[in-house]
Amino acid sequence: MSVISGTAYWASITLPNTTFDVDGVYTIDICQLDDKNKDIVVQDNLEIKNIGDERGDFITAKMKVRRKNGGVNAPPKVVDSKLNPITETLVGNGSKVNVSYRPFDWTFGNRSGVSAGLNSVQVMDLIEYKPNDSISEFTIEEGYTNDKDNDIPFASI
């Protein structure tokens, strides 16, 4: 088991991401790795990614909700700097984190490699993700509201 420090991106650690897996996957990109943390990752035989964006050098740690045998994995433990549990707060991009993972070997078809299995996350500096941030430039005002969903023309045929 290893622990590295970095900056969180695309963290789905209190709720699983179901975009590509119906059962869900807990996942986090640990980004902007410094030399000390890159050394740990290299010793674990993990591939350091860098696609030229603000994430810099990073790895992804993940854990599927459901195991191959049908059992369900317990969610990763997520705690704050004082080890208090975080259960409902969404960790946003740019949060500073310490991540515990276990390297594991995998094979799929003709490919094989080593991946990081997510164990737990300690949030050192939180930037909370709020799903409505994409429209935060607006404020609630008086005016038109779309609250007449039951008044659809031609709906009762």
CATH label of the domain that carries residue 74: 2.40.50.140
Please give the pLDDT value at position 77: 96
The residue segments making up the domain with residue 90 are 2-131
pLDDT in tens, 72-104: 999 999 999 999 999 889 999 999 999 999 999
Residue 68 domain-assigned (yes or no)? yes
Comparing CA positions, the residue from 110, 105, 134, 127 lying closest to residue 46 is 105
d(CA 114, CA 102): 10
Q: For the chain, give the mean pLDDT.
A: 89
* Strand locations in the chain (E): 2-17, 25-31, 59-64, 77-80, 96-108, 111-125
Number of domains in the chain: 1
Residue 154 domain-assigned (yes or no)? no
Please give the pLDDT value at position 138: 66
Lowest mean pLDDT among 1-15, 32-46, 56-70, 138-152: 138-152
Residue 117 domain-assigned (yes or no)? yes
Residue 93 domain-assigned (yes or no)? yes
Residue 143 domain-assigned (yes or no)? no
